[in-house]
Amino acid sequence: MNESVSLDFKDELAEEEEFLGNFFYISLLFHLAIVLLFYLYNASFFKFKEKEQSLMKSFVRVDVVAMPTLTIKELKSLKLDRSFKKGKAKSLKKIDQSAEIQKAKIQKRAPKIVPRKVEKLKDDFVFKEKTKAKTKKLNKKIEERKIDKRKKVENIEKASVEEKSNVLDLIKNLGTKRVKTVKRGKRRQKVNNGLGIKFGRKNSKIIKNLLIEGNKISKGENIIEGKTLLKEEESLQIINDYISRVRQSVRSYWKLPEYLKENKNYRCRIQIFISDDGSLLSLNVIEKSGNEEFDKRALQTVEMAAPFPPVDPVIRKRVLNGDLILGFPL
């Protein structure tokens, strides 16, 4: 009787398991059918989604606060003047280097700095009074050794404090100190583009004057489909800067004969892959204009414009993956 009961119970369990198993398979098949249905409905369901594309247009904001002092030619030459940035970067490097050298020198000198004795003597006296031991000689020797040790520790601490303050002073002074650019600086000042605009430090003065007097040219922001980027978005800012530099270099080579220029409907888009150093890895026409000559000239333009500026590590991946598409003209 007991056996039959237990057998029944086993049978029930088996039945239940079978039922659940069937239910699961039905459910699985149902889900697979849905997936298949989606697949058949839209073949691209399992494909990688097409990358979102955003349009980058360049805008330059010019605030006129007074009559412009520079002519159109001068403004153009200012825009092309990259030596200022280079010169500035070099001088900044020099500041860093000289700071490091000074720091190293101070570190070497640090152990030699003689500490002041006045305050220490007071401490020593108190310490001596507290430690009146019977075995004066031995204790004295021990105390003397201890004092020596403490003095040494304090000396080192003081020296390090002095060293720190010295480095801080040095950095502070560097801000006001005129960095010697020696001959190179002089040579840079001599270089004149014939318009009274000198490169390097002088250029910054001119730009400063520009801001005060007129032609107040601010860089402007790239606009992505009508929305200005937030300045806080650093990586976007970097890519914006990079894009504007790429655009500038490509644009200077983008020339067409009249018969191709006349047709405003031609549009060609080229995907570019750029390596870390700015060299062009490959290019791919992703949208043809319908005119072979137009596409050929657009490709030639990109090839002529390469190499591009070196890529910032922050945007390296995107630039390398071909996220940049050049639109001729849009």
Partner 1 sequence: MKKILGFCLLLLLFPLGVSWASNGQMIIEIGEATLDKKKIIFQKPYLAEKFNVFETKLIKEFHSIFANDFSFYKKSFFIIDPENEPVSDFDDKNFELWTSRQFKFITRYLFKKNIKKGAIDFKVELVDTYNKSVLISKKGHFYSRNLREKAHALTDLIFEKIENAPSIFRSKIIFVSDMMSKGSKKVKELFSVDFDGRNLKRLTYHKGIVISPSVSSDGKKVLYTLIRSGKGRKNLNLYSMNLKTRRQSIISSRKGINSGAIFTSDGSKIILTLSHTGNAEIYEVDLSSQQLRKITHHFGVDVDPDLSKDGKILTFLSNRSGKAMIYLADPSGKEKSVKRIGFVGQFNATPRFSPEGSEIVFSSWMDNSFDIFKIKKDGSQIYRLTKNFGSNEEPSFSPDGEFIAFSSLKLKKRSRKLSVQNIYIMDRDGGIKGQITRDIGYCTTPRWYNPPKT
Please report, as ranges, the residues that interact with partner 1 according to CB under 8 A: 24, 28, 31, 35, 45-46, 48-58, 62, 64-75, 214, 224, 239, 243, 246-247, 250-251, 254-258, 260-261, 269, 271, 297, 301, 318, 321-330
Q: Which is nearer to partner 1, 159 or 239 (CB)?
A: 239
In the complex, the smallest distance separating the C-beta of residue 299 from partner 1, rounded to whole angstroms, is: 13
Q: Which is nearer to partner 1, 166 or 248 (CB)?
A: 248
Q: Which is nearer to partner 1, 73 or 112 (CB)?
A: 73
What DSSP designation does 281 have? E
In the complex, the smallest distance separating the C-beta of residue 77 from partner 1, rounded to whole angstroms, is: 12
Phi-psi region of 295 (alpha: psi -120 to 50; beta: other; left: phi over 0): alpha
Among the listed residues 284, 266, 278, the one whose alpha carbon sits nearest the alpha carbon of residue 306: 278
In the complex, the smallest distance separating the C-beta of residue 296 from partner 1, rounded to whole angstroms, is: 13
d(Cα 199, Cα 154) in Å, to the nearest integer? Answer: 51
Give Cα 107 distance to the centre of its chain: 32
Phi-psi region of 99 (alpha: psi -120 to 50; beta: other; left: phi over 0): alpha
Q: Which is nearer to partner 1, 51 or 105 (CB)?
A: 51
In the complex, the smallest distance separating the C-beta of residue 174 from partner 1, rounded to whole angstroms, is: 38
d(Cα 57, Cα 54) in Å, to the nearest integer? Answer: 10
Q: Which is nearer to partner 1, 49 or 183 (CB)?
A: 49
In the complex, the smallest distance separating the C-beta of residue 279 from partner 1, rounded to whole angstroms, is: 18
Among the listed residues 212, 182, 179, 164, the one whose alpha carbon sits nearest the alpha carbon of residue 66: 212
